[in-house]
């Protein structure tokens, strides 16, 4: 039985476009760029500034540990110095349900919210941020519940097993609505305006910032803090930030109609069946454990980690097995990224570029490197970067196309650097920040080096994830502070902040900063 259902890419795009009234006549008439905003805090021209990064945070209390809140508290002493927080996706587990925003987002980040002194009074679709939290959607923010699950059919054995389970799955009674909860929480939900006049007045009040790409939304901390779209860009301190929705260009290419393709298909189907059997074994085993017993609570956490890993692998296999006609790629977003990166390089006022999105193209977490989605993301990002490098030519000189890429999805903290990949994603620093609350993962047994076609193309310089066994097991949850300095060419000093659950106690660590 599937625990989650991932909507088709075409449906994700269609629904999200409807919610922001994409290219509505009133928007087009005003020359509004719906993919850009200006962070109007009076400090956006400062060349030196700091920001925070979290990702894959949206877990609940789980055995009373509440790792997400521990990470949020790690960041609190840095709020006065940091201008905003980037979120690399998976804001709410397990299926992005609106009913879980209160305990899995609002309460952990109450200090960031207007009225946070009384978090229970804040509605998820009416949040105003004191300190900007600027997310991208993760796969769990789009997930829905399978029909049989959402109807809570008590007649099926898998459902009965699930309900007997002691795993705290944070599922609830409904899913994300194909990202509807995320859109209401973070985006300017323009389709809520019933009358055209109301929409016109809203646009004239809040879309007043003027840029070289037209009018755009003015993001005002403490006053108006909605984002214009599921993917967007903003400029701060001379750095262009590009936030992407990787959930709409992560479909693997279809398996070829060849003998090799048929063999791969049979292998995937066999693996999927084995994973389903393993899921049922986990549910049965969890039903016999007592979450009130500390030792058994630790075992339940391990089973939860394993179950979530298996579910991810099944979703990835399903994407690879999908019929050819269902494969879809968000060409519009990728073309937008290409053109905006080119414009960024052609603008002498811009001194650096940061891209952030959910699915990491480079990662050494145990389950991700060979996933079909990882290969798809890496291939499509390379196409964009190659096209940008070909166009900007000498403007780039010896610099990489972008200075830094930030991702989530892999439940760890990791810093990697690409070498010569044969593409324009060479010599780039990549940071995975996906260990901010949900079940942590281990590094793959192959270690820190990533090889493609028998060539070393990347190496991991830092990996912070689940490690150790039995009583020596460590769960280091993490977030980042990044300080931006330098004049013409920016430098990024990365400060990892870690809250580690070890031997039933929390231990906070500030790891050694590194500069890229």
* Burial (0-12, 13-18, 19+ Cβ within 10 Å), 453: exposed
Number of C-beta neighbours around residue 194 at 10 A: 8
pLDDT in tens, the chain (516 residues): 567 889 999 999 999 999 999 999 999 999 999 999 999 999 999 999 999 999 999 987 666 689 999 999 999 999 999 999 999 999 999 899 999 999 999 999 999 999 999 999 999 999 999 999 999 999 999 999 875 454 443 344 454 455 455 565 666 677 899 999 999 999 999 999 988 899 999 999 999 999 999 999 999 999 999 999 999 999 999 999 999 999 999 999 888 889 999 999 999 999 999 999 999 899 888 888 888 887 787 788 788 888 888 988 999 999 899 876 556 789 999 999 999 999 999 999 999 999 999 999 999 999 899 899 999 999 999 999 999 999 998 877 889 999 999 999 999 999 999 999 999 999 999 999 999 998 899 999 999 999 999 999 999 999 999 999 888 999 999 999 999 998 888 999 999 999 999 998 999 998 999 999
Residue 229 CA to residue 337 CA, distance in Å, equals 14
Strands annotated E in 238-332: 239-243
pTM of the model: 0.94
Distances (CA, A) of 14 to 10, 18, 182: 6, 6, 15
Q: By 3-state DSSP, what share of the chain in percent is helix, strand and coil, each rounded to 5?
A: 35, 25, 40
Partner residues linked to 240 by β-bridges: 235, 353
Query: Pairing between strand 133-135 and 82-87?
Result: parallel
Number of C-beta neighbours around residue 210 at 10 A: 11
pLDDT of res. 504: 87
Q: At 355, is the secondary structure helix, strand, or coil?
A: strand
Distances (CA, A) of 84 to 79, 80, 220: 8, 10, 12
Would you kindly state where each structural domain of the chain is located, as residue ranges?
9-254+322-515, 259-321
Residue 365 CA to residue 302 CA, distance in Å, equals 16
pLDDT of res. 169: 63
Distances (CA, A) of 262 to 43, 273, 371, 444: 57, 17, 18, 28
Which token pair is 295?
Answer: 């030792």
Class of domain 9-254+322-515: alpha beta
Distances (CA, A) of 278 to 14, 295, 316, 411, 441: 35, 22, 16, 21, 18
Q: Are 183 and 16 in contact (CB under 8 A)?
A: yes
pLDDT of res. 150: 45
Distances (CA, A) of 380 to 69, 252, 301, 365: 35, 10, 35, 21
pLDDT of res. 19: 98
Which token pair is 133?
Answer: 């939290």
Indicate the DSSP class of residue 102: I
Consecutive H or E run containing 413: strand 413-418
- Write phi, then psi, for 494 (nearest 5 degrees): -100, 125
Number of C-beta neighbours around residue 419 at 10 A: 13
């Amino acid at each position: 039985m599937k625990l989650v259902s991932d909507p088709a890419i075409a449906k994700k795009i269609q629904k999200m476009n409807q919610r922001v009234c994409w290219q509505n006549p009133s928007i087009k008439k005003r020359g509004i760029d719906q993919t850009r905003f200006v962070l109007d805090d009076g400090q956006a021209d400062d060349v030196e500034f700091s920001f925070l990064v979290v990702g894959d945070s949206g877990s609940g209390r789980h055995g009373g540990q509440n790792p997400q809140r521990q990470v949020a508290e790690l960041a609190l002493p840095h709020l006065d110095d940091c201008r905003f927080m980037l979120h690399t996706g998976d804001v709410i587990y397990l299926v992005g349900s609106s009913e879980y925003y209160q305990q899995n987002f609002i309460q952990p980040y109450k200090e960031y919210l207007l009225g946070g002194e009384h978090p229970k009074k804040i509605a998820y679709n009416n949040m105003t941020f004191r300190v900007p939290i600027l997310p991208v959607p993760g796969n769990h923010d789009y997930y829905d519940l399978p029909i049989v699950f959402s109807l809570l059919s008590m007649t099926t054995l898998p459902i009965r097993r699930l309900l007997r389970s002691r795993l705290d799955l944070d599922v609830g009674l409904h899913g994300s609505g194909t990202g509807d909860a995320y859109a209401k929480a973070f985006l300017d939900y323009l389709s809520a305006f019933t009358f055209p006049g109301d929409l016109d007045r809203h646009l004239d009040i809040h879309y007043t910032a003027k840029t070289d790409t037209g009018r755009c939304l003015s993001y005002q901390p403490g006053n108006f803090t909605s984002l214009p779209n599921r993917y967007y860009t903003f400029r701060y301190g001379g750095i262009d930030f590009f936030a992407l929705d990787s959930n709409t260009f992560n479909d693997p290419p279809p398996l070829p109609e060849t003998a090799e393709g048929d063999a791969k298909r049979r292998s995937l189907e066999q693996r999927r069946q084995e994973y389903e059997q393993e899921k049922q074994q986990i549910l049965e085993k969890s039903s016999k454990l007592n979450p009130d017993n500390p030792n058994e609570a630790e075992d339940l956490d391990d089973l939860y980690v394993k179950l979530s890993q298996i579910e991810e692998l099944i979703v990835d296999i399903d994407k690879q097995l999908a019929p050819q006609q269902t494969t879809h790629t968000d060409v519009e977003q990728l073309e937008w990224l290409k053109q905006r990166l080119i414009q960024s390089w052609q603008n002498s006022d811009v001194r650096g570029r940061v891209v952030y999105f959910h699915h990491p193209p480079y990662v050494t977490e145990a389950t991700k490197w060979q996933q079909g989605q990882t290969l798809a993301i890496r291939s499509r990002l390379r196409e964009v970067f190659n096209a940008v490098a070909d166009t900007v030519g000498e403007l780039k000189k010896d610099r990489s196309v972008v200075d830094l890429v930030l991702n989530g999805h892999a439940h760890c903290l990791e810093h990697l650097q690409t070498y010569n990949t044969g593409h324009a994603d060479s010599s780039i620093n990549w940071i995975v920040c996906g260990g901010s609350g949900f079940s942590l993962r281990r590094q793959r047994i192959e270690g820190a080096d990533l090889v493609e076609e028998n060539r070393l193309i990347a190496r991991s310089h830092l990996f912070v994830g689940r490690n150790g066994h039995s009583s020596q097991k460590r769960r280091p949850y993490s977030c980042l502070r990044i300080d931006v300095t330098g004049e013409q060419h920016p430098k990024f000093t990365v400060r990892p902040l870690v809250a580690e659950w070890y031997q039933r106690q929390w231990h906070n660590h500030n790891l050694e900063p590194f500069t890229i």
